[in-house]
Amino acid sequence: MKNFFQQAFSSPTWLRRALLVLLDGGLISLSFLGAFYLRFNQNIGLFSNYLSSHLWLLPWAILSGLAILFSSGWYQGLTRYSGSHSLYGLVPRSLLLTACLFLISSLADALRPPTSFWILYFLLFTAGAISSRIMLRDVLRFQLEKSKTIQQANNQKRNTPISVPTLIYGAGPTGASLYKALENDPRFKVICFLDDDSSLHGRRLLGLTIRSPLKLNSLIEKFQIEQVLLAVPSLSRHHKRQLVDKLTAHGLKVLAIPSLSQLATAEKVVEELRPVSIEDLLGRDPSKPDPQLLGVGVTGQSVLVTGAGGSIGTELCLQIHRLGARTLVMVERTEIALYNLDKELIGQLGPSPHCVAVLGDASDRNHLEFLCKKHHVDTIYHAAAYKHVPIVEANLCVGIANNMRSTSAVINAALSAKVKRVVLISTDKAVRPTNLMGASKRICELMIQEAAQTVEACRGGGPIFSMVRFGNVLASSGSVIPLFHQQIKEGGPITVTHPAITRYFMTIPEAVQLVLQSTAMAKGGDLFLLDMGDPVRIADLARQMVELSGLRVIDREHPNGDIEIRFTGLRPGEKLFEELLINPTDEATCHPLIRRAGKREHPTRKLKPLLEKLDQELTNWNVKGALSLIHELVPEYQPPTSSPNDPQQARSTSLTP
């Protein structure tokens, strides 16, 4: 009998409900008899007479009462999770149950029970049903806790790590919902809540004490805390990063809560708990798009994207399709990248006859022109480019030729096919470039500006050419973050080129969203600059990624740490600090995160012959001649005059400035 309740209520649903029905049937009978007894307890003879004359009502009380309870969904709830809300729901059912029995007795041609009987019957059944559910709930929870303890002991014998001592950061509704979802999970042993609100300190939530984050050290020492669950969904990225910094500095693993909708429905809460990733902390909180800007040039239009299989190109295609493009032409020369893009589009948005996957080279002007005319293209987003700095640096002719010729092909195809808009995806490395990739993108910007001048000189009637320049995007191909993830997975070391090197970061979806909105503001020859937020020091980024993995960086304070950060020296053409502006004459636009840079004109009569000469030198693989022309086209291009920093010198530099 000792495990009767646990076995009964873990049985199939029909058996569990049958046991509850029997219980409620017994409660109805006891309430019926008890009401008569309490009414006539001073006169046993009168009690016996009234009971015998009204005993015919008892079967009706049981049948009508159970019917009402069953049809109203009383037996659909889980007893172990019964709370005040569900128990209060019994009161209207008890009223209905009593009223139904009163109606039956009124219709019968017999003596009716006294008025006090009905009040006593209602009170006895309500109190009995609520009390029984509370007792059953507590017995079940006790049995589950006991089983959990036994399971923990068995798992410990098998050296299985479970019941990790855990804190929940945030004593609000989200924290309470999270605790309820984890309460019976054997893998989490929640010790208490942490909250910054001093008015809550010392109070209790769901039986757990709310403590100050200042007590974290003593809590770790006393309870051997290993992880913290963040339950503060309204926290900005900046403040979340500061908080995660403090927590990981104590060697704690930090997990993020699932979405609020999943918490509200208690859906997949445990499965969705995941370690906080560096991508969650970098950049600025995503901005809300302006719907009046977002769809211009896309909604109801035919759009062509070059480099569609790349990181930016893929997100461009996804967002353009969601915005209702009439036709989406996706040009990509890497077969596997095009296959993956097509598969992702189908997986996320379903198959569509309006999406055309084209295997082709963006440098092929005839092919681009054919595609633009065939699909009546209105807007081109030119994202195709070689962008990896060291590779382009080591392969000058191929890298420069690809970026320059693909831009030339896009311009000429757009002019010939009378495309309405052309947007070049540029980079912050085009500002006072110190590498050939940046110089090539600056040349592409000059080509776009020259094309815009040509259209303007012809008094319009041609495409609106514009450019958008931004920095690094998170998780893009070749990004430092996937590299660091891999190096941490392999046990290190993490390689950083210089202790002081910084970069701007933005999420791919937000960058693409801003690119699409800039299209609506273009007038011709515009160079748009995206607000990338604050720059991030890469050495700090590496340290935080190590700590988010539950490991320690090997340094002076932790000589026995897990992962070394090794400084290798700046690579050829690499900057310490990236810039987004060519000059300070930029101006605001109607979007707070998009600026318009002042144009730097290049004489049309000089640009075209220089580009033709450069193309010829690239065809002839004349590196020296090509470099000379690049310097003439981009006077601000300043490659490093000395070799990269000595690794030994860089390695000795402290992480702190």
The set of catalytic residues is 429
Report the C-alpha gap between 250 and 140 in whole angstroms.
Answer: 37
CB 597 within 8 A of CB 586: yes
**Angle between helical axes of 311-322 and 508-519 (0-180°, round to 10):** 60
Report the C-alpha gap between 140 and 550 in whole angstroms.
Answer: 36
Return the CA Rg of the chain: 36
Q: Are strands 421-427 and 594-597 parallel, antiparallel or unpaired?
A: unpaired
Does residue 166 sit in helix, strand or coil? strand
- The token pair at 414 is 């757009």
Report the C-alpha gap between 322 and 354 in whole angstroms.
Answer: 12
* Residue 472, amino acid: N
Report the C-alpha gap between 520 and 421 in whole angstroms.
Answer: 10
Q: Which among 43, 35, 33, 32 is positioned nearest to 65, based on CA atoms?
A: 32
Whole-angstrom CA distances from 264 to 35, 273, 420 are 42, 14, 47
Does residue 341 sit in helix, strand or coil? helix
Estimate the share of the chain in helix, then strand, then coil, as percent rounded to the nearest 5: 50, 15, 35
Q: Which among 520, 53, 39 is positioned nearest to 289, based on CA atoms?
A: 520
Partners of 194 in beta bridges: 169, 211
CB 6 within 8 A of CB 142: no
- The token pair at 350 is 């379903």
Q: Which among 401, 399, 454, 407 is positioned nearest to 426, based on CA atoms?
A: 407
Four-CA torsion 65, 68, 73, 77, nearest 10 degrees = -10
Residue keyed to tokens 């209105």:
378
Report the C-alpha gap between 406 and 329 in whole angstroms.
Answer: 16
The string of DSSP codes covering 452-498 is HHHHHHTTS-S-EEEEEEE-EETT-TT-HHHHHHHHHHTT-PEEES-
Residue keyed to tokens 């901005």:
287
Which helix or strand (DSSP H or E) is residue 292 part of? helix 291-294
> Quick one: residue 73, left, alpha or beta (phi over 0 = left, psi -120 to 50 = alpha)?
left
